[in-house]
Structure 1
């Protein structure tokens, strides 16, 4: 396992959402410090070609007069939302801008580069942000988040059946995870695992007295029973706004932030759902800087990490990142040889054109955004 690529110049986004269809990873919305998020302009969408590592801005939908469509025909720019892929489409739900939240389901079609609003029925969850979403079978499961209408954290589970487009509230059994937002969820073995997030000493209410649960909990989708496995190994510190993903039967955790410790993380953990064992992993290569609110997407044998916010090295400010990092779970001899050429700055004059092009793509920054000036 090795970090093999770090490229700047991608979309500068924090608290965005992402999903993968085919060989493209799509990034939806998020915020960038200094921008105005009170308007109902269409959400921006960026696409990463996982073969060339190039980012591009997806064109907005327009009306017959050539003007960009606006909410509610298309989703407004937002943060704290979720996006999942199902089949060849991506479904986005929840989130907010600085004025309002949204509980309309939107569907993005990568083939036609268009948005639609599927007709849904049933018990639609209340608008929220900081929730989680994952797909199990033909259903999307929503857990937790902060529901501003009632000013409370949630620990409810809601389900959207993609076959019928019907929302259902899921009656669960056993003690659910504590009320929380900005946790993470992942599905494996017909279970929805929940880790981390921000709670409150006076949950479900928000009193600014934060709590960070270090337990991992799962919901068995067959019995709808919550379980708290007895774990061994090196347990991660409780955190929020981290990333959680599955590869090769293991749950992976990266980064995040603990407000009590006032600490950002760039540590990397795995959890084995069969042995219930945690492990602290240190992949080879240069890891990303400590951060929160990034997106991590697994494609084949690689994980793509982009965006998020990191502490400034010289003061108390935060830096909105525009970088893309690539973690190779099983680097080939070819990849290791390319890294040797790059790291030792070897002469590439006599290398085949295809190999030189691959080296260029792994080292040349994107050009969507410019570097920030940290000199003052």
Structure 2
């Protein structure tokens, strides 16, 4: 009877709030892990902004599972989930472990999520590190999680390195990172060694790679052959056997009294199969993005670099544009593809729109039009809206709202100009135009 009750509880937990092909809302500071037990990718957490950086932010505590074979998302919202952003997530022993990050409801714990039971649990400890560091780096070797650096709550940069033993629930303080440490960097495990790329310290972005040997508890410089990527932070990364990949990222530049952010659009491979390792530049045509997530895989003999979410623009005044577009760059064929939620498939990026297709629809009213900060849509017969998509004059999707709570749309984050609005309901599709002043 006890076994039957346990099985029923697990089945109930798995079915709670499950929604198929619920694409995650726009966000940054989220994480992604690959689960080799079901061959799916799990996107979790992050900060959600509807318009600009000054808008009230929210943390998403739901988990989004992407099935690369079915090309669909499944959204689940298990109870007792932490609300975090700027964290790292790692897959170990079939569970997703979350370390670091800015936290809304989460205390000084590590958290683990079991995809099989769809349950969260916190990993408490009496003595150990402050787990609330932002933009820390982390990787797994065997049954140990190593996480290092990050930004403390007082904005100082940490150089601490901790080893967490998941079997014994113990923490060990290791040798500190060189100099003052780093944050917004990437850490990759290779042949028992941890390789650190990019990030920032108190003096700016770092280009010098470093390596950590857990066996000897020592640090060293790591100098591959070839021209290296420019110094950057918050780039996307992925790993294949004997290969480390990076894409995008950002660098700060100061001009007079203002600070601006420059975005990278390149993709690099670090070939670790040879000694010394070698950097190889693969493309300059990636999507400009930072603070998103990425992964790389080989499918049908094509090498694909995936990118989801992140920040696509930061102005000198601090306004932030967030993308929820799901892209992948086919490195083998040198083409960029975009995920199309309607068809649940991959295709080319929308580059043009026939304006005649977006002639004013008498059944769809937009008010006011022109508008500056907000518009209201009037849908006939109170039809339920499934999604609202806004395209610019180049045909690029610049804003998407899935299952909106109201028929009001904030457009203060859009630049002035002509836009095309596509509204899908459960029964119809409406196309119209709008001018942003």
Q: Provide the TM-score with structure 2 as the length reference.
A: 0.64
Contact 2:209/2:223 (CA < 8 Å) preserved in 1?
A: no
- Structure 1 pair 53/100, CA: closer, same or farther in 2 (3 Å)? same
Report Cα offsets for 1:235-283 as digits up to 9, x if no partner. Answer: 1111111022221312111110001273101211122343232221128
Partner of 2:74: 56
**2:288 aligns with one of 287, 290, 306:** 290
Instruction: Determine which of 102, 114, 134 is the counterpart of 2:139.
Output: 134
**Residues of 2 paired with 1:166 and 1:122: CA distance?**
9
**Aligned equivalents of 1:288, 1:233: Cα separation in 2:** 21
Gap runs ≥5 in structure 1: 1-6, 62-72, 202-210, 344-358
**1:25 equivalenced with 2:63 (yes/no):** no
Would the alpha carbon gap of residues 57 and 370 (structure 1) be closer, same or farther in structure 2, given more than 3 Å must change?
A: farther
1: CA distance between counterparts of 2:227 and 2:216?
A: 29
Which of the residues 183, 186, 204 maps onto 2:185?
A: 183
Match of 1:229 among 199, 222, 228: 222
Among 79, 85, 89, the residue aligned to 1:79 = 85
> CA 1:329–1:248 in structure 2 vs 1: closer, same or farther (change >3 Å)?
farther
- Give the Cα–Cα distance (whole angstroms) in 1 for the partners of residues 122 and 192 of structure 2: 28
Q: Which moved more, 1:253-262 or 1:185-194?
A: 253-262
Which stretches in structure 2 are left out of the alignment for 5+ residues?
Answer: 1-20, 255-260, 350-385, 391-398, 400-410, 420-435
* 1:289-368 equivalent positions in 2, closer than 5 A: 289-299=287-297, 301=299, 302-311=304-313, 317-327=319-329, 361-363=345-347
Q: Does 1:109 align with 2:144?
A: no
Q: Which residue of 2 aligns with 1:257?
A: 250
The higher relative CO (CA closer than 8 Å, separation ≥ 6) is in 1
What is aligned with 1:244? 237
> Does the 8 A contact of 2:198 with 2:233 survive in 1?
yes
With normalisation by structure 1, the TM-score equals 0.73
Supply the distance in 1 between the matched residues of 2:265 and 2:126 (Cα, whole angstroms). 41
The answer to whether the 8 A contact 2:239-2:295 is kept is no
**Cα offset for 1:166?**
0.8
Aligned residues: 315
Match of 1:12 among 2, 21, 26: 26
What is the CA distance between 1:322 and its match in structure 2?
A: 1.0
Greater C-alpha radius of gyration:
2
Q: Give the CA RMSD over aligned residues.
A: 3.3
Deviation at 1:24, TM superposition (A): 1.8
Distance change >3 Å, CA 171–CA 9, structure 1 → 2: closer
Cα 1:178–1:300 shift into 2, 3 Å: farther
Q: Are the equivalent residues in 1 in contact too, given 2:238–2:246 (CA < 8 A)? A: yes
Is the Cα contact below 8 Å between 2:62 and 2:81 reproduced in 1?
Answer: no
Corresponding residue of 2:3: none
